Structure 1
Amino acid sequence: MSNSRAAAVLTTPDLTEALHAIRTLLDIADLHHSEVDFEAVIHSPEVLARVRHVLPDLEWWASAGKEHGSSEAGDDPADCLPVQVYDWSNPLDVAEPFIAALGPSPAAIRWDLNSWPEVPEADLEYISQKYAYLTLALNSRDIYQDEPASDHTVYVHVPSDDDTARIEWLAAQVGGRFTGRIEIAPL
């Protein structure tokens, strides 16, 4: 297993601004064979119903542990709240309906990109799919939903901490700035 570095490039309380930044970064990336993954913590039956409408077959387990309920055991998630939900390898167009369904729930939405392109005028080399990701921490200060927040953070992934030129260039494309905050993201 390898890791990427998830660098925070924009934090905002405005979800519209965060989504605009995500769309801008997606326009820069090579999206050939791209997909989106979801992780969230759901506390309310209303949010759960909306999320299951978007992703009816999502994997979940009780936040207290799988022994307290899981999709694997065939339990009803509404009886096991709060629950952790995971869904992998979705088409890109599912991301925004999932985000809308979540309301105030903390989540991480990760776009698995084909690559970050070469940018000759900024002296940036091509980065392969292995390290080309984009994450939105929704209602959370981190990509693991450990620190709930009222704002949202956009992260760009790069292979190493010393790839600050790409981080700063991508941040500038969305009106953000790199503050030095990096999280290790297992892939």
Structure 2
Amino acid sequence: MGNSMAYRLCRESDGAELWAQARRLCALMSEGEPLVDLVAELQTPEDVWRMAEALPEARFHSQALPFDDREWSHVYRADALPSSAHEMQILLPFRVEEEVPAEGPVDAFVRALGYGPASVYRGGYWPDVPELGIEAYPKYEAVQAVFNSDALDGEEPAGHHTLFVHLSKWGDLPRAEWLAGQLGTRVVGGAVAGR
């Protein structure tokens, strides 16, 4: 078991712009994983209803209810969510975590986001860059778009969105700088422990 090191490549005030940058990075991968990890905290009834429309097969976990292993009432299918704002308010916030096909509802997920922390994570492999002596490393590489936060885990709320690249567990600043250059940006700060 190992971890990646992640580098911030940019911060954006517009989530759609950050997602466009993330898609550009995904297109650079020599091979992308077929599944994408989606995570979001939904803070308002409207957030939940938008996300239920974007991810109709998702499970929505109420964070307001204590866990009870005999009673699974804190988990709702999209079609079983409360329809009134009052009933929904009691259950907020909700958390949704889904693994979806890369060609699936990722764009709809991003459009449905509110102001809670959220993340889109796509693993893959970066290509060799022979002119810089950079070789592909077959583990831990990924793109992660983090919304409304400046941290990989969403624990640092922010009024902006942050794009990370995950690289080998030893870090790879030249690779991170090359990827940033492909977007016309620079690495922001040092490496942070990834996943």
The CA RMSD over aligned residues, in Å, is: 2.3
Is 1:85 aligned to residue 96 of structure 2? Answer: yes
What residue number does 2:51 align with? 51
**Alpha-carbon distance, 1:140 to partner:** 1.1
Q: Larger Cα Rg: Structure 1 or Structure 2?
A: 2
Aligned mate of 2:152, from 138, 143, 157: 143
Give the aligned length.
Answer: 183
Task: Give identity over the alignment, percent.
Answer: 30
If the length of structure 1 is used for normalisation, what is the TM-score? 0.86
Q: Determine helix, strand or coil for the equivalent of 1:117.
A: coil
What residue number does 1:66 align with? 67
What residue number does 2:105 align with? 94
- The question of whether the paired residues in 1 share the 8 Å contact of 2:6 and 2:171 is answered with no
If the length of structure 2 is used for normalisation, what is the TM-score? 0.83
Q: Determine helix, strand or coil for the equivalent of 1:125.
A: coil
- The question of whether the paired residues in 2 share the 8 Å contact of 1:69 and 1:75 is answered with no
What residue number does 2:115 align with? 104
Taking the aligned partners of 2:177 and 2:6, their CA distance within structure 1 comes to 13
- The question of whether the paired residues in 1 share the 8 Å contact of 2:60 and 2:75 is answered with yes
Taking the aligned partners of 1:124 and 1:155, their CA distance within structure 2 comes to 19
What residue number does 1:7 align with? 7
**Alpha-carbon distance, 1:132 to partner:** 1.9
Cα gap change, 1:3 to 1:33, in 2 (>3 Å)? closer
Deviation sequence 1:25-80 (CA, Å, 0-9, x none): 112102454321111110111111111111122233222453471249x9747352
Structure 1 segments unaligned to the other structure (5+ residues): none
Aligned mate of 1:117, from 101, 104, 127: 127
Of 15-24 and 144-153, the range deviating more from structure 2? 15-24
